[in-house]
A and B are shown apart, each in its own frame.
Chain A
Amino acid sequence: ELGWLAARLGAAWLSLVFALIVLPSALGVSLGISEAYMWVLVKTLEWATIRIEKGVKKPQPEVLKTPAANGIIERDETPMEKEVTGLHRMEFQFSDIFYFCRKGFEAIVEDEVTQRFSSEELVSWNLLTRTNVNFHYISLRLTVVWVIGVIVRYCLLLPLRFTLAAIGITSMIVGTTLVGQLPNSSVKNYLSEVVHLTCSRILVRALSGTIHYHNKENKPQKGGICVANHTSPIDAIILTNDGCYAMVGQVHGGLMGVIQRATVKACPHVWFERSEIKDRHLVTKRLREHVADKSKLPILIFPEGTCINNTSVMMFKKGSFEIGGTIYPVAIKYDPQFGDAFWNSSKYNIVSYLLRIMTSWAIVCNVWYMPPMVRKEGEDAVQFANRVRSAIAHQGGLTELPWDGGLKRAKVKDSFKEEQQKNYSKMLVRNGSIG
């Protein structure tokens, strides 16, 4: 009796999901359900913000309002030369140590780099426990809303999203394997695009994603290289929701490996074995061959090499900019109020990360397609990479940092310290005289 009821409910549930979400995704239409959800969400969060501000003003005179993006301390940007030497004297003073000392302490209190490897702090609480850092109990009403939020997110949204994700991934594997059986032809390419787009759309809905694409006329063309800032593994899905790309990456095991092997049959994605990826020349050569074939889909690359917290763009590795061809820069900026997309891989593994994403309110982001860029005469790969990076940072409203994202795990190179020592030495022995 009970089993039969459960089966009936399960079937009803699945048919609802198919009718309301999967089918529209396949056809590329929207029924407006997500829009309605977002509207309710925005209203609720606005209400919560007002209540928090009212609540905080009563007990404490100090209000933690300004976002951490402005920094906690005043950083003195006076260059070494000005601070250390003063106007006339260019010789060692005991006070020279003050410059290094203060810079050191400033870095200890707040540094530009390590903060990029943890999630951005919110201005106002968004009713998720995980972001509740500095906010205290305000009122009963707010707590009730929070509890409702927890129930909605874990009991309603999470199962729904999980179902969708399962459908999306399964369709991707099955669909691409089927299409892969066809002989190479324009029909095959067309079907491959349909499968990839549909599955991406389903997966985006599995995250309650609301994405605004800007400047679609600049969308990456075939034979080009699409370059974007990296915040999360879902960046790729965000982009494939609106277009077809040839993915580039390392071969993984497990479910990811299955997806990779299936999709490459339908569409020429570029997957590298672990051993191959260490050989930079091999990688560049293969990508160059792909890009040279103008009938092939644009490749998608994230030159930072690692996930950054979406407040800044870190150093772009020059490898992607040595391939040649046209670069299509894309800026992706997530709105942290609805859900934190950043994957802090040292803190969470991929499963915990996906769980957190699926129990957030939504993933809201803006994607800007930017005009294509090519390497200029006399510009080397590093300069070109920096130029593209500036453009992306500027468009997305992110700060630019010359530091390597690899510093998440690795130590900084000694050459930077040596550079500082060199600069200081120059001041001591200026004009050949010894001070």
Chain B
Amino acid sequence: SVSHSQITRLYSRFTSLDKRENGTLSREDFQRIPELAINPLGDRIINAFFPEGEDQVNFRGFMRTLAHFRPIEDNEKSKDQNGPEPLNSRSNKLHFAFQLYDLDKDEKISRDELLQVLRMMVGVNISDEQLGSIADRTIQEADQDGDNAISFAEFVKVLEKVDVEQKMSIRFLH
């Protein structure tokens, strides 16, 4: 589980981002981080912190979202077999990534949604036609039930050989 010092540090970070000092963060507070503002998927990432229809996130919500990125080996220490699946399990990490693509949250990645996310990542450097081909090929390879969209199960299958734990984890130094 998260150590006391890590919580203290994250709370310190939360308050330093909270410019209006009212205990919550808005989207603007995140946008103020230059390295995040220049990230092509910055807006999608920021969005992940805000539940449906909300514009503010408190510290609890902040920690909840960050919890997805805890390394999986942390779970071996708690060994709580009967509890709910931890947020940083492989499956939940994959679901988090899935939701970055699934813009309308209908548990399917449509061609259109994939195109929009691709467009965010490439900017103006690739034409619509080329991008369309990329999207078509990607969906074709992953789509198993022929509905021209990617469900979470299909998403998991495509990424079964990827080291999700390593790529979607952040390690604390202390």
Contact = CB atoms under 8 A, between A and B. Distances in A.
Interface of A: 60, 62, 64, 66, 70-74, 83, 91-114, 118, 133-134, 403, 407, 411-412, 416-422, 424-426, 428-429, 434-435
Nearest to B42: A104
A317 to B, nearest CB: 17
A394 B162 CA distance: 41
Contact of B101 (A66, A94, A109): A94
* Central interface residue in B8, B37, B138, by most chain A CB within 10 Å: B37
Nearest to B162: A95
Contact of B173 (A73, A118, A407, A425): A73
Contacts of B6: 72
Given A73-B171, A94-B101, A422 B38 contact: no
B101 A134 contact: no
Interface in B30-46: 30-42, 45
Contacts of B79: none
B36 A107 contact: yes
A134 B8 contact: yes
Contacts of A412: 34, 37-38
* Central interface residue in B30, B41, B155, B170, by most chain A CB within 10 Å: B170
A99 B37 contact: no
Given A94-B159, A429-B130, A110 B13 contact: yes
Contacts of A83: 167
Nearest first, the 7 closest Cβ-Cβ pairs linking A and B are A421-B123, A425-B125, A107-B35, A104-B45, A416-B38, A98-B167, A74-B171
A95 B164 CA distance: 9
Contacts of B117: 97
A113 B34 contact: yes
Given A104-B36, A424-B40, A425-B126, A411 B31 contact: yes
A72 B174 contact: yes
Contacts of B35: 103, 106-107, 111-113
A108 B168 contact: no
Contacts, number: 163
B40 A417 contact: yes
Given A103-B39, A108-B36, A434 B130 contact: yes
Nearest to A422: B125
Contacts of B168: 98, 101-102
B170 A107 contact: no
Contacts of B170: 73-74, 102, 105-106, 109
Nearest to B155: A94
Contact of B121 (A100, A118, A407, A434): A100
B134 A74 contact: no
B11 to A, nearest CB: 11
Contacts of B122: 421, 424-425, 428
B39 A428 contact: no
A145 to B, nearest CB: 25
A100 B34 contact: no
7 contacts: A72-B9, A97-B100, A97-B117, A103-B39, A113-B35, A412-B37, A426-B125
Contacts of B38: 412, 416-417, 419-420
A99 B36 contact: no
A202 B76 CA distance: 62
A434 B133 contact: yes
B34 A407 contact: yes
A92 B109 CA distance: 15
A240 to B, nearest CB: 34
B5 interface: yes
B97 to A, nearest CB: 6
A118 B16 CA distance: 9
Interface in B115-138: 117-118, 121-126, 130, 133-134, 137-138
Given A114-B16, A412-B34, 4 more contacts: A72-B173, A118-B16, A411-B31, A417-B40
A74 B70 CA distance: 12
B90 to A, nearest CB: 13
B40 A421 contact: yes
B134 A428 contact: yes
Contacts of B130: 429, 434
